[in-house]
Chains A and B, each alone.
Chain A
Amino acid sequence: MSTDHSNWNRRDFLYGLGLSIGAVALSSLLACDTKTGQLVSRGPLSPASPMMRAKAKYCIFLTMEGGPSHIDTFDPKPALDKYHLTRFQRQGEKFSAMSSGDRYFVRSPFSSRKVGKSGVDMSAPFVHLADVADEICFYRGCQAESVNHPTAMYHINTGNQFGGEPALGSWISYGLGTMNENLPAFVVLPEVAYPQGGPGNWSNGFLPSHYQGTPLRPEGSPILNINPPPGVSRYHQEESLELLQKLNREHQQMHPNHDELSARIENYELAYRMQMEVPDVIDIEGEDEKTKELYGVGQAETDAFGRKCLLARKLVEQGVRFVQVYSGGWDSHDFLERAHGNLITSIDKPIAGLIKDLKRRGMLDETLIVWSGEFGRTADNGVRENGVAYGRDHNPDAMGMWFAGGGVKAGHIIGATDELGQEAIDVVHPLRDLHVTLLHLFGLDDNKLTYFHGGRHKQLSQFGGQVIKEVIA
């Protein structure tokens, strides 16, 4: 065990801890090895230096739940025009309801154009994002594995299709701690409805629960029970806290060797402070009107996602390490034009606003923005209700994603999919390589960011992977 807590060796300490101890701490003040009764001098969420030099310090991960179509967003396939509605049958070993029966190709309902100095592709519904095209690195080579939503979501979020493992945000928090110990290191801004697979998407898995994603719910109390119950005033709480702490201190004198008692005493003080402070931290009303406008807050079609993007910036500004923002409903098996059209509009201005805002605040360099779904979509579709459905099925072999800020190669398109967008063909990498790359951008080495559990040193990529060098500046 290392005594130099400033360097990476703290994993040794966590190693021992991890066999039996977990926690959902919002604060590292309270890292207490309860089985040995030792209060540790630095907590699992204290900021730690990365393993290597890196630009990215914070991450805002924009998750498009349902699988956005790369073909209809950033990877246009004009060749589809000539195959439009041509029928065929698909074969393959990965048989499921989606791959059987009559299939036909579907062209994109959207036109596409080259935008920015770098001339990257964007479909017509993207209006505002074009302003910041030169900040973005588009990546077309990634491949998922699962064709099914929850397993694919678990895969991109946790590296494992079957859930139960730590999310990317948990791994990064584990590696780097947080810059604000009064807030969770890893915050999730979900849709009103939690995604398929539920909280498993932001689970700490086998990592100590300090690294669990904390959802800030868009409605109701952001953190459960953070507000006192009805009829309980501040005076009431203070009186109760005072008596409680007195009892706790007297009790501690009877058990002087039981160190976690003091951790629990401190915990009540901290919770009381957080109860006072958190509502202010997450309130976006204090932002000036221009900023709100920038994110589309107050406009019906962009308000919900705009609020989340603005809150994400505020959280990162406060030192939260990893913010995951959800946009749901991208599963367009049908009515692609309307569904994708509306969804693109709902995120277009907020995301452009986020990038502009971070840039003008000088935060874009150290904030990595990722935009991705759990898989891409097919160039073809199946018959639905005995009719042609202008939509697309799930496609793990090709997908679209992009990065901005945080040391990526801005204004570039990396990799390519085939003529129809069915399969990645250039700079092809599995999801695990994406994970390795994201960690790398944070100065973390996937092979070293391991945690011993279930008889193995586990890592985000599961078995190791390669950095996608092409996307790094």
Chain B
Amino acid sequence: MNIMVRIFPLFMLILFFGCKESSQKEAVDPEALFAHEVKPIFESKCIGCHGGDPKKIEGGLDLNNYENLLAGGNSGKPAIVPGKSNESLLYHSILRVDDDLAMPPKDGDKLSEIDLQIIRDWIDGGAPWPSAERIAEIKLDTAWEYGNRIRVKTSGGLSDTWDNRPYEKENLWAYYPVEKPEIPWGELDPQNDHPIDAFLADKRESEGLSQAPLASDLVLIRRATIDLIGLPPTIEEIETFLQDKDPKAYQNLIERLLASPHYGEQWARHWLDVARYADSGGFSNDYVRPNAWRYRDYVIRTFNDDKPYDQFVMEQLAGDELDPEDPEMLIATGFLRMGPWEHTAMSVAAETRQFYLDDVTNIVGEAFLSTPLNCAKCHDHKYDPIPARDYYSIQAVFATTQFAERPAPFLPEENTEVTEFEKQRIVDWLNKTAEEQELLSKKEEAAAKQWYKERGLTYLPKRERRKLPEDQQPPRYLGLTYEDLGYRKVLSKRKQLLRRQEERFEPLAYSVYNGPVNVKNSQNRMTIPEKLNGELPQSNILAGGSVYAPIEPVEAGVMSIIENLAPEKKQINIDISNSMENRRLGFAKWLTHPDNPIMARSMVNRIWQYHFGKGICETPNNFGNTGGKPSHPELLDWLTAYFIEHDYSVKEMHRLIMTSEAYQLSSTHPEWSRVNELDPNNELLSYFNPRRMDAEELKDAMLYISGELNPEMGGFPVRPEINIEAALQPRHIMGSIAPAYQPSRTPGERNRRAIYAERYRTLADPSLEVFNQPGTDMSCEARSESTVTPQVFTMFNGQNVRTRSLVYADRLMKDLESHEARVREAIYAIYNREANADEVSEGLNYMEKMTKYHSDNKPPKTEYPTEVEREMFEEMTGEPFTYKEELDIYQDYVPDLQPWQVDASTRALADLIAVYFNSNEFVYVY
């Protein structure tokens, strides 16, 4: 830090004069200001209600009419008093000081600071009202600039007003080319200086803040381990690290963690949040997506193999076009179908197709471009230079993309282990279902035969008699009771669901192909038709986003602002196909081009966020005008350039970030009140932000500590135990109740890492949901972190924590000789530090009381239900009918250890461990 260049005073000076200059009213010609700035503001924000339609002028105020402005609308007060902004009602309204007068009415449309300043300056400058001719003349001056406001070119908006709209340059930061900045400290001493710290110190010191001391090795190993692999360090790992005298001990720790296969599980989870991974489709039936799990494992492999990020992006967008023979490439495109989607007999195909196109367009925007594109779906973007034309051009990239479960042989690296039981139960259930269906159909046919007999007619089977007029065949449903009719629907739905389950074990990829539009009912496996007949889909700009209102055809394209902001040598210029094939490949080539500034920026910011709890830009899915502004734009650019130079290696970014001092700081700052006052959100990273473990981290950590975690990687989704009431909660699907959720049969099968749990869109694991596991409908850019009451019920009363504690207690009872040793071990394993004497004696004291309690109180034996009774409202009668659903797994269930199976002191130790699991020291990472 000795070579720190103090540019602070100079910087302040520029800032000072910069401000001064723009507020010098006399420097701006108010007439020109009106023509270039004020009028466009009126047009985009006000004219809609005040002058657009002469028949509908709100409040009697017409912003096309100067006299009216001077006289005022219905209020009778002048809207504008030339020279006096503070007496002008219009200015008062746009300042929004008075709720009733605030204009525009929607808070979301409020004028920016600079807009307010412009209107104020125009009024204070005499509020001139040049004629249309004069305005045209003024506008010939194309060199006009006001402050930081610029005009940009795009593919073209739906109106001139939009095209001429100014932007504040700093709001477009994300779309400008990446310029690798100089490191503030100049030549770095590779032994002592770190480029990240140079950038951070530069800004932090300019604010006069110091940085916290470095964290202890104990804190650091827990932080780094949970961060990289999502599991806490073991006692042995801690001991080894503490005793390691190698100056590179910390670097070696990072290397060990990056080499762990658990690393991929942890970091894939972050990406699956963005992609909205789930094993089902949501809506009415929540049909299972039997092969989606291969995408989940593909993402895990991607991170473990440190696949270059550009390649990862390319594969997810266009794997099938890159190499349709490579199963991995087909699996990767599962990304394009991750959103919720369903098409049933009740749906309108054009609408469900358009829903898909909107969904995929927006997720591509959020995930790769850090720009929520759906803001430009109904109209040109309100804030960003993204015309509806861009939205629909990007949508056109996916116009030929259709769904298919494509044959893709299992790869050697894929885990396809499955117990015979899991496979057989589907077959058994299908057979049983078929038998029951057969019984009902026999019953119906027996009645039909009787009907024919009574009339002396020849019996006709159902298929044949169906073609006859109604009065020449037995009445509908003859021979069946209402219960039969209801149950028949239950059976046919069950068959649909089970058939999809069966596909799970087949080598299919949840993938896409190119062809004409092909919308099929979600209950079916999607296949590529033998002949791809049909028209080449034509994409259009849709008025108001309605599929029924096409207004103009568009071709496949990209985000035009990026091309237009790039200097000539950085133009990407990739032709995107408009034929049936290779549209996505072209788009992916544009997106992954090293001169495209946004893809790498987006990912670097995400990586930073997962390390520090907050991105350099706080809204990783939204770099637009409405998103956060980067706290350290130069650092972000430098890191982005580094990422590109290092072949988009994510692991290289971890190495870089984690070896900075910033990452190794203590979470406590000696000058807290000062830090808290000057930088309450810790934007300057003066200390390390502590965080709560994520839902999955908490769950995995407890399984890991108890020794139950089966570290097996990948494979078919598993079903962990969830709250049994939630598991058996009936869920209405079309014509039936969804089958009950039953956990996998044996502990080894179900006690896997949370990432392998089957995710249903309409049934979250409540213990994860309550700790902010995100829903699967929208992309999650950052986990929420809340402290709310149901968490206590989950942790304090819930089954999961209690079982983990019990198993761990049982192990400690067997492995160690004394209670004291057990308490010490538990504290070390859970808090990742040695116990102190007080804690041990408190723990022993508590155990003693609890042992006594448990000696007097025997826990009941756990009973598992082997069937559930389902009650449905039969739509035909409007009366409830019931049926029984067998819970096959519980009939031969291997439970985890139960309280009644162990003695009182083991239960007491388990209680103590449960208290530790509930405590803040376990739940937070410092």
Q: Is the CB of B108 within 8 A of A198?
A: no
Which chain B positions have C-beta within 8 A of A206?
Answer: 778
User: Which of A197, A199, A240 is packed against the most chain B CB atoms within 10 Å?
Assistant: A197
Within 8 A of B (CB), among A168-207: 191-200, 203, 206
Q: Does B619 contact A (CB under 8 A)?
A: yes
A-facing residues in B711-750 (Cβ within 8 Å): 723, 725-726, 729-734, 737
How many residues belonging to B are interface residues under a CB distance threshold of 8 Å? 132
Contacting pair B788 A267 (CB below 8 A): yes
Please judge, given known A-B contacts A94-B348, A231-B859, whether A257 and B669 are in contact too, CB under 8 Å.
Answer: yes
From B628, B789, B843, contact of A26 by CB (8 A): B789
B86 within 8 Å of A (CB atoms): no
Q: Are B732 and A195 in contact (CB under 8 A)?
A: yes
* Nearest CB of chain B from residue A292's CB, rounded to whole Å: 21
B366 to chain A, nearest CB (A): 8
User: A246 vs B875: C-alpha distance in the bound complex, in angstroms?
Assistant: 56
Cβ 8 A contact of A447, one of B106, B622, B843: B106
Contact A457 B283 (CB under 8 A): no
B627 contacts the other chain (Cβ, under 8 Å)?
yes
For window 881-922 of chain B, which residues contact chain A by CB distance below 8 Å?
Answer: 899, 911-912, 914-916, 918-921
B787 A32 Cβ-Cβ under 8 A: yes
Is B689 part of the binding interface, using a Cβ–Cβ cutoff of 8 Å? Answer: yes
Min C-beta distance of A245 to chain B, whole Å: 9
Contact B681–A252 (Cβ < 8 Å): no
- CB-CB under 8 A from B793, the residues of chain A are 223-226, 271, 275
Pick the most buried of A231, A338, A389, A450: most chain B CB atoms within 10 A of its CB: A231
Binds A, one of B222-230, B472-480, B566-574: B472-480
Q: Which chain B residue shows the least CB distance to A97? A: B345
Residues in B neighbouring A332, C-beta threshold 8 A: 875, 878
Is A384 among interface residues, defined by CB-CB distance under 8 A?
Answer: yes
Binding-face segment, A14-22, A132-140, A421-429: A14-22
Q: Is the CB of A93 within 8 A of B782?
A: no
How many angstroms from the CA of A195 to the CA of B733 in the assembled complex?
8
B93-119 near A? 1/0 per residue, CB < 8 Å? 000000100000111110000000000
Whether A224 and B766, one on each chain, are in contact in the complex, defined by CB atoms closer than 8 angstroms, is: yes
CB distance from A4 to the nearest CB of B (A): 13
Known: A224-B723, A240-B915, A267-B789. A456 touches B108 (CB 8 A): yes
Docked pose: A192 CA to B731 CA in angstroms: 9
Interchain CB contact under 8 A, B860 and A264: no
Give chain B interface residues in 608-631, CB to chain A under 8 Å.
Answer: 613-614, 618-619, 621-622, 624, 626-628
Contact between chains at A34 and B762 (CB < 8 Å): no
Complex Cα gap A217–B346 (Å): 29
**Residue from the set B726, B784, B849, B899 with the largest chain A CB neighbour count within 10 Å:** B784
For A276, list chain B residues within 8 Å (CB).
none
CB distance from B582 to the nearest CB of A (A): 29
Name the prevailing secondary structure of the B interface residues: loop
Q: How far is the CB of B861 from chain A (nearest CB, A)?
A: 10
Residues of A420-473 at the interface with B, using a CB-CB cut-off of 8 Å, are 445, 447-448, 450, 452, 454-457, 459, 463-464
A255 touches B667 (CB 8 A): yes
- Report A33-70 residues with CB < 8 Å from chain B CB: 34-36, 38, 51, 65-66
Give the complex CA separation of A338 and B881 in angstroms: 14
Q: CB distance B785 to A35 under 8 Å?
A: yes
A230 to B, closest residue via Cβ:
B860
Dominant secondary structure at the A interface: loop
B57 CB–A CB distance under 8 Å = no
B310 located at the interface, meaning its Cβ lies under 8 Å from any Cβ of chain A in the complex: no
The answer to whether A334 touches B876 (Cβ under 8 A) is yes
* Pair A217/B729 contact, Cβ less than 8 Å: yes
The answer for the CA separation of A217 and B286 in the assembled complex, in Å, is 21
Contacts of A30 in B (CB 8 A): 787-789
Kindly state the separation between the CA atoms of A36 and B107 in the bound complex, as whole angstroms: 25
Contact B784 A23 (CB under 8 A): yes
User: In the assembly, what is the distance between CA of A369 and CA of B853, in Å?
Assistant: 50
- Say whether A208 contacts B786, CB under 8 Å: yes
Q: What 1/0 flags go to B857-887 for Cβ under 8 Å of A?
A: 1111000000000111111111100000000
Q: Is A291 an interface residue (CB 8 A)?
A: no
CB-contact partner of B792 in A251, A255, A267, A448, under 8 A: A267
CA distance A104 to B355 in the complex (A): 31
With A162-B340, A239-B849 given, is the CB distance from A194 to B787 under 8 Å? Answer: no
Complex interface: chain B residues within 8 A of A223 (CB): 790, 793
- In B321-358, which residues have CB < 8 Å from any A CB? 340, 342, 344-351, 355
A120 to chain B, nearest CB (A): 24
User: Smallest CB-CB separation from B690: which chain A residue?
Assistant: A258
Nearest Cβ distance between residue B495 and chain A, in whole angstroms?
Answer: 18
Chain B minimum-CB-distance residue to A385: B476
Contacts of A255 in B (CB 8 A): 667-668, 690, 926
Complex Cα spacing A151 to B761, Å: 15
What A residues does B384 contact at CB under 8 A?
Answer: 455
B614 lies within 8 A of A24 (CB): no
Once bound together, how far apart are the Cα atoms of A256 and B680, in whole Å?
A: 15
A278 to chain B, nearest CB (A): 10
Cβ of A243 < 8 Å from any Cβ of B? Answer: yes
State the CA gap A406–B619 with chains docked (Å): 40
Chain B residues lying within 8 Å of A95, measured Cβ to Cβ, are 348-350
Judge whether B734 and A149 touch: CB under 8 Å.
yes
> Looking across the interface, which residue of chain A has its beta carbon closest to that of B286?
A198
> B250: CB under 8 A from chain A?
no
A299 to B43, CA, bound (A): 64
Q: Which residue of B lies closest to A260 (CB)?
A: B787
Contact pick for A148, options B347, B770, B787, CB 8 Å: B347
State the CA gap A384–B470 with chains docked (Å): 11
A464 shortest CB reach to chain B, Å: 7
Would you call B476 and A387 a contact (CB within 8 A)?
Answer: yes
Q: How far is the CA of A234 from the CA of B548 in the complex (A)?
A: 62
B524 beta carbon closer than 8 Å to chain A: no
- 0/1 interface trace, chain B 662-679, chain A, CB 8 Å (1 if under): 000001110010001000
B798 interface contact, C-beta 8 A: yes
Whether B875 pairs with A34 at a CB distance below 8 angstroms is no
Do A96 and B797 touch (CB < 8 A)? no
- List the A side residues contacting B374 at CB < 8 Å: 454
Cβ-defined contact, B875 with A231, below 8 A: no
A227 lies within 8 A of B877 (CB): no
B228 to chain A, nearest CB (A): 21
Q: Closest Cβ of chain B: how far from A442's Cβ, in Å?
A: 16
Contacts of A94 in B (CB 8 A): 348, 350-351
Any A CB within 8 A of the CB of B66: no
Contacts of B858 in A (CB 8 A): 231
Q: Could you say which residues of chain A place their CB within 8 Å of the CB of B915?
A: 240, 243-244, 247
**Taking the complex as formed, is A157 at the interface, i.e. its CB lies under 8 A from any CB of chain B?**
no
Are A36 and B680 in touch, CB under 8 angstroms? yes
- Inter-chain contacts of B348 with A (CB < 8 A): 94-96, 147-148
Residues in chain A near residue B649, CB distance under 8 A: none
Q: What is the distance, in angstroms, from B185's C-beta to the closest C-beta of chain A?
A: 29
Over the window 371-400 of chain B, the binary record of Cβ atoms lying under 8 Å from chain A Cβ atoms (1 yes, 0 no) is 110110010001110000000000000000
Which 6 residue pairs are nearest across A and B when measured between Cβ atoms? A457-B108, A23-B786, A329-B873, A198-B762, A164-B777, A22-B784
Sample 9 A-B pairs with CB under 8 A, ordered by A number. A23-B784, A23-B787, A210-B788, A231-B858, A239-B850, A258-B924, A386-B473, A388-B470, A452-B108
Show the binding face of B for A, using Cβ within 8 Å: 99, 105-109, 282-284, 286, 340, 342, 344-351, 355, 359, 366, 371-372, 374-375, 378, 382-384, 466, 470, 473, 475-477, 548, 613-614, 618-619, 621-622, 624, 626-628, 667-669, 672, 676, 680-682, 689-692, 723, 725-726, 729-734, 737, 761-764, 766, 769-770, 772, 775, 777-778, 782, 784-794, 796-799, 802, 839, 842-843, 846, 849-850, 853, 857-860, 870-879, 899, 911-912, 914-916, 918-921, 923-924, 926
Extra contacts besides A25-B789, A224-B766, A454-B621 (17): CB < 8 Å: A21-B786, A36-B681, A199-B762, A225-B794, A225-B797, A225-B798, A232-B797, A233-B857, A247-B919, A271-B789, A339-B875, A346-B878, A385-B477, A447-B107, A454-B622, A456-B375, A457-B107
